Amino acid sequence: MSRSSSNHGEIYGYLGQLFAGVVEINRRFLESLAGDQPVEAVFAKSLAAGSEIDGKADWQRLSASFQQAQLDFWRGLLAPIERFFPVAADLATPGADPRFRDSQWHSDPLLKGLMETYLKVCQAYRLMAEGQELTVGDRRRLKFYINYFLDALAPTNFFLTNPEAVRLFFETGGRSLMRGLENLAADLRRGRLTQTDEEAFSVGGNLAATAGAVIHENPVMQLIHYRPVTEKIRARPLLIVPPCINKFYILDLQAHNSFVAYCLERGLQVFLISWVNPDQRHRELAWDDYVENGILEGVEIARAVSGGQPVNLLGYCVGGTLLACALAVLKARRRVRRVSSVTFLTTLLDFSDPGDIGVFVDRRILARQEKAAESTGFIPGQDLYHTFSQVRANDLIWSYVVSNYLKGQEPSPFDILYWNCDPANLPLRFYRFLMRDLYLENRLVGGAVRVCGARVRLEELKTPAYFLATTDDHLVNWQVCFKGALRMAGIREFVLGRGGHVAGVVNPPGKENSFYYCSSGRPAGTPEAWRAAADKRAGSWWEHWCRWLLKRSGSRVVAPPGCGSRDYPEIEPAPGGYVARRLDFAGTEKNKESG
């Protein structure tokens, strides 16, 4: 026997033992979900086949046996529920589901039967969830967990019922799966699933590389002033307030998709807050500290550096919620005229429907999180990362399980996913206010919240405001964002962009198929009626927003030669030290230098 044949024999023998274990694990998991379903007999044949495999023919028999076992399981799961919730005969076109795009799902009778039965089960359980007499919150949770488990058990997630993975295995002589096992071992050491080629990026290198300097820092934030790139700039500065749940550089990725760079190229004078990545030393930081020592301090410094000009503010996600509170404080202190305009990007002000993340807004879950964080004083960023990944499990978990482990492929470089895997901790006191007062109690819209000693009344805020929501945002429902916009009394512009919470915001001009909805008047009525009457325009909302903001940015003045001022000199180059602290999911902290 040749060395190659010998190697293949070893591979088949090893994989026979390996997948006998996989089948057993799968059997136990399915049985735990199925309750009294008699799945033991269904998997017996697969277990026997797995222990005897010694070549390609046996391998193929095992694959067929496993497919049949899966098919029998799904049929058994469908039968009892279909008696009460009949499934429509015409399923949605399976080809529309990217998991089943491979032609073998439609040409192989066994795979086709498995696919169709699985989709029928999914449909039946979703119908069941819709039919339950539950509160809105409980129905959302039921639907989420049904979808989560059904997605986890999709036949595409198992090697023997993934035709692409099996075909690649034979084409590579088993090497694809060996690479997949290596990828799995590396991710186990890393403590999380790899979503992108992380060696392709570095913060301060090819991410967050826009020229500027930190001109102020305190325990809450570093304030970055970016170097002008035009001979003349607008007199009124723009202060960007990113979310503190993730790093600011989602708005300063690479040169071609950096929102910060786009603003500079249009002659705006740009300042940006880089929030601290807190640890035990910051356990006393609360919501008020982020408003007082973050936003309000940033406003005063931006004004001082720009010669006392009023400031344009922009907040993204929870950064926008903080901005609304900051405006209320400025109004109470009779300083609201120091702000020229405010922009809210995918921001919740009305928390009556928090979107898919509402599944985790539960008093029992929060109590466990808070108790676990009492010793450290912060909510780990790793926990937040896993929570957000579960909300989009097919996109952020199972697609990578299939590509990385079953197919042995290396993830492609993707800057947004690199950022997504770079979360930040949150102080416990801040988190408690955000989750309990806002998400659970929705106290912001009722005027029941006091921040920095001032009562927040959204209906009294008259600063010109621009609201952006996105059509497919799973974290900030656009209809609720619309309702929040109606609560502010001033001049309002509402725009609905295409995409999700991140890709809908990071949407530079020139991207294919970009569009947004806008209207000529103030938003009013219901979200659906507004959308039906709005104009649909091709292109990026960046351009629409920039035209709106330039009208509120003052005259053109000669750009300064550098960053900061005599009172606020350069401390260190952008992006600064606060953003460089990266969390290690395996349990120890990483500190990476910028650049």
Which residues, in sequence order, are bridge partners of residue 224? 214, 272
313 in Cβ contact with 239 (< 8 Å): yes
488 in Cβ contact with 459 (< 8 Å): yes
Neighbour count for residue 587 (Cβ, 10 Å)? 8
Any catalytic annotation for residue 244? no
484 in Cβ contact with 465 (< 8 Å): no
- How far is residue 584 CA from its own chain's centroid? 19
537 in Cβ contact with 544 (< 8 Å): yes
| DSSP symbol at 336 | G
Which residues, in sequence order, are bridge partners of residue 474? none
Q: Roughly what angle, to the nearest 10 degrees, separates helices 3-34 and 56-84? A: 20
Please state, in angstroms and rounded to a whole number, the distance separating the CA atoms of residues 210 and 575.
8
Which residues, in sequence order, are bridge partners of residue 497? 470, 516
Please state, in angstroms and rounded to a whole number, the distance separating the CA atoms of residues 302 and 217.
13
| DSSP symbol at 522 | -
User: Which has the closest alpha carbon to 564: 258, 227, 237?
Assistant: 227
User: Which has the closest alpha carbon to 279: 148, 498, 427?
Assistant: 427
Please state, in angstroms and rounded to a whole number, the distance separating the CA atoms of residues 122 and 126.
6
Strand locations in 454-580, DSSP E? 454-455, 465-470, 492-497, 515-518, 535-538, 556-558, 572-573
Please state, in angstroms and rounded to a whole number, the distance separating the CA atoms of residues 331 and 123.
51
Contacts from 431-435 at CB under 8 Å and sequence distance 24+? 431/369, 431/370, 431/373, 431/378, 431/379, 432/366, 432/370, 433/286, 433/287, 434/287, 434/318, 434/321, 435/361, 435/366
Identity of the amino acid at 203: V
Neighbour count for residue 366 (Cβ, 10 Å)? 17
Neighbour count for residue 267 (Cβ, 10 Å)? 19
In the structure encoding, which two tokens stand for residue 50, read together? 């797995």
Q: What are phi and psi of 471, to 5 degrees?
A: -60, -35
Of the residues 263, 317, 421, 452, only one is catalytic, namely: 317
Please state, in angstroms and rounded to a whole number, the distance separating the CA atoms of residues 290 and 323.
10
Residues labelled catalytic: 317
